A and B are shown apart, each in its own frame.
Chain A
Amino acid sequence: MKGIRKVYDREVLRVDNLALRKGQIYGVIGPSGAGKSTFLRIINLLTSPDSGSILIHGKEVPRNGAERLALQRRMSMVFQKTLLFRDTVWNNVAYGLRARGFDRTEIGRRVRELLEQVGMTDLSLQRADTLSGGEAQRVAIARAVAFEPELLLLDEPTANLDPCNIEMIENMVVKLNSSKSITVVVVTHNIFQAHRIAREVIFINQGNIVEMGETEQIFSAPREELTRAYVEGRMIY
């Protein structure tokens, strides 16, 4: 991300220069309204910045067209408020594969494998809108990784979930990262979660990246006083 600026009624995000490395798990932390979700949406090409550019493998992302769609198809995002389609669990997980024109055999193989991984095989023909919050989020993640994206963006994936589901989802994310080399960027309010699963942490406050570094360094020896105040649980205004 180079020279990124995004303004709504005020400037909500400013990123001068930021590079994400392949195969890494990034935790994005910061107070509410800091610009974390906008950060993810700009990476996912859902929101266009007012200025600046996004480069993927060194190549600038065009503003629109088939090339932009092709780049967008190399990543996926799970939103804070999960929206599963009014369809079966199976068809939800298969959605991204169908959008990419995978054949039926391959779709069947991948969906079966993923549903088994997330413990949802028995519910594959159940309507997705009848699932519990934890089940829905597991399906949302399975749907997002079915086509094996290079980059997985998670916006508060475990908000409002019970500890059992939180653990299951965290384990899933770490496993996906290690087994399929999927780069993960997870936005979380839960600094302990960032500590548990991220290898690098990005701290955003008032639309600016205050600090970025290895997880241990951010939590034990942050360079910025603002970061220290946040990870120590002191309020920031």
Chain B
Amino acid sequence: MSSLFEGIIEAFRLIISLDPDLLQIVFLSLRISGTALIIGSILGIPLGTYLGLKPEKKTRLINKVIFTLMGTPPVVVGLIIYLLISRMGPLGVLGLLYTPWAMILAQVSLATPIIAGLTMVGVRAKGSEVVETARSLGAGPGLAAWTVVRESRIAILGAVITGFGRIIAEVGAVMIVGGNIAGKTRVMTTAIVLETRRGNFELAIGLGLILLILAFFVNSFLYNIQRGDSGN
């Protein structure tokens, strides 16, 4: 209990003192997860929209694959990416292992199925109605698809929020492919694991609290956009 209390005090001390090591870890976490979220959205939203507009019976197999990938354990994703980008792997020549790009790759692999799957569900709710209305008003295929994305934006934003939640809190995959190298690939979650192993519970709890506060602000920002857009 005292560790928890001291951890909270430590968190505030670190925040107020603008500890450079902490700031470096926080910014790297945001940079990696932010980049992964953008790439995951660029891949997942069009894929989910495309699948959501297709008749369900034609996409059953791919739906099952996406839903399975949504629940894949991060360590499994990390292991697969590790094998792909390790020196002996097919992408070894790119030299990505233990770099932030390897961590981004792992997080993209985790976020994309979630964004695609939840977008698909959101679009399926009334996507075909929107397409028909758009087409009846003279929209070509491109404008009709864009209209569907606009009309499903609340569901899509929900998918992006969920994707962000999945990757910002993830530790297994980034630990395997990033290596938790100080100043290079150490992010908040891997730092928490390290400090816990070292017995620095106050610092680990402090980092955990900062992670929660950060997640709260990012999610609040996205939630406010979503809520404002729903007219409530």
Known A79-B132, A83-B129; judge A95-B137 contact (CB<8 A). Answer: yes
Q: Within 8 Å CB of A87, what residues of B? A: 150
Interface set, chain A 54-80, CB cutoff 8 A to B: 69, 72-73, 76-77, 79
Query: Interface size of A by Cβ–Cβ distance < 8 Å?
Result: 23
- Whether A147 pairs with B138 at a CB distance below 8 angstroms is yes
Q: A129 an interface residue at 8 Å Cβ cutoff? A: yes
Q: Within 8 Å CB of B126, what residues of A? A: 83
Q: B20 an interface residue at 8 Å Cβ cutoff? A: no
- Whether A85 pairs with B151 at a CB distance below 8 angstroms is yes
Q: B68 an interface residue at 8 Å Cβ cutoff? A: no
Chain B, residues 152-167, CB within 8 Å of chain A (1/0): the string is 0100000000000000
Q: B194 an interface residue at 8 Å Cβ cutoff? A: no
Q: How far is the CA of A222 from the CA of B130 in the complex (A)?
A: 39
Q: How far is the CA of A79 from the CA of B135 in the complex (A)?
A: 12
- Whether B137 pairs with A144 at a CB distance below 8 angstroms is yes
- Whether A73 pairs with B138 at a CB distance below 8 angstroms is yes
Closest residue of A by beta carbon distance from B229: A86
Q: How far is the CA of A143 from the CA of B140 in the complex (A)?
A: 17
- Whether B132 pairs with A99 at a CB distance below 8 angstroms is no
Q: B23 an interface residue at 8 Å Cβ cutoff? A: no
Q: Within 8 Å CB of B137, what residues of A? A: 76, 95-96, 99, 143-144
Q: B72 an interface residue at 8 Å Cβ cutoff? A: no
- Whether A46 pairs with B136 at a CB distance below 8 angstroms is yes
- Whether A83 pairs with B138 at a CB distance below 8 angstroms is no
Closest residue of A by beta carbon distance from B136: A77
Nearest-Cβ distance from residue B148 to partner chain A, whole angstroms: 10
- Whether A69 pairs with B136 at a CB distance below 8 angstroms is no
Q: Within 8 Å CB of A129, what residues of B? A: 231
Taking a contact as CB atoms closer than 8 A, the residue among A72, A79, A81 that contacts B138 in the complex is A72
Q: Within 8 Å CB of A228, what residues of B? A: none
Q: B139 an interface residue at 8 Å Cβ cutoff? A: yes
Q: Within 8 Å CB of A83, what residues of B? A: 126, 129-130, 133
Chain B, residues 90-129, CB within 8 Å of chain A (1/0): the string is 0000000000000000000000000000000000001001
Of B133, B147, B231, most buried by chain A (CB within 10 Å of CB) is B133
Q: Within 8 Å CB of B143, what residues of A? A: 99
Nearest-Cβ distance from residue A143 to partner chain B, whole angstroms: 7
Q: Within 8 Å CB of A10, what residues of B? A: none
- Whether B231 pairs with A127 at a CB distance below 8 angstroms is yes
Q: A17 an interface residue at 8 Å Cβ cutoff? A: no
Of B129, B132, B138, B143, most buried by chain A (CB within 10 Å of CB) is B138
Closest residue of A by beta carbon distance from B230: A86
Q: Within 8 Å CB of A127, what residues of B? A: 231
Taking a contact as CB atoms closer than 8 A, the residue among A77, A79, A99 that contacts B139 in the complex is A99
- Whether A44 pairs with B136 at a CB distance below 8 angstroms is yes
Q: Within 8 Å CB of B153, what residues of A? A: 86
Q: Within 8 Å CB of B150, what residues of A? A: 85-87
- Whether B151 pairs with A79 at a CB distance below 8 angstroms is no
Nearest-Cβ distance from residue A132 to partner chain B, whole angstroms: 15
- Whether A86 pairs with B151 at a CB distance below 8 angstroms is yes
Known A127-B231, A130-B231; judge A85-B147 contact (CB<8 A). Answer: yes
Q: Within 8 Å CB of B129, what residues of A? A: 81, 83
Known A85-B150, A86-B150; judge A99-B138 contact (CB<8 A). Answer: yes
Q: How far is the CA of A83 from the CA of B130 in the complex (A)?
A: 7
Closest residue of B by beta carbon distance from A81: B129
CB<8 Å pairs between A and B, sample of 26: A46-B136, A69-B138, A69-B140, A72-B135, A72-B138, A73-B138, A76-B136, A76-B137, A77-B136, A83-B126, A83-B129, A83-B130, A85-B130, A85-B147, A85-B150, A86-B150, A86-B153, A86-B231, A87-B150, A95-B134, A95-B139, A96-B138, A99-B134, A99-B139, A144-B136, A144-B137
Please report A residues at the B interface, Cβ cutoff 8 Å. 44, 46, 69, 72-73, 76-77, 79, 81, 83, 85-87, 95-96, 99-100, 127, 129-130, 143-144, 147
Task: List 4 additional A-B contacts (Cβ < 8 Å) besides A76-B137, A99-B138.
Answer: A44-B136, A46-B135, A72-B136, A99-B137
Please report B residues at the A interface, Cβ cutoff 8 Å. 126, 129-130, 132-140, 143, 147, 150-151, 153, 229, 231
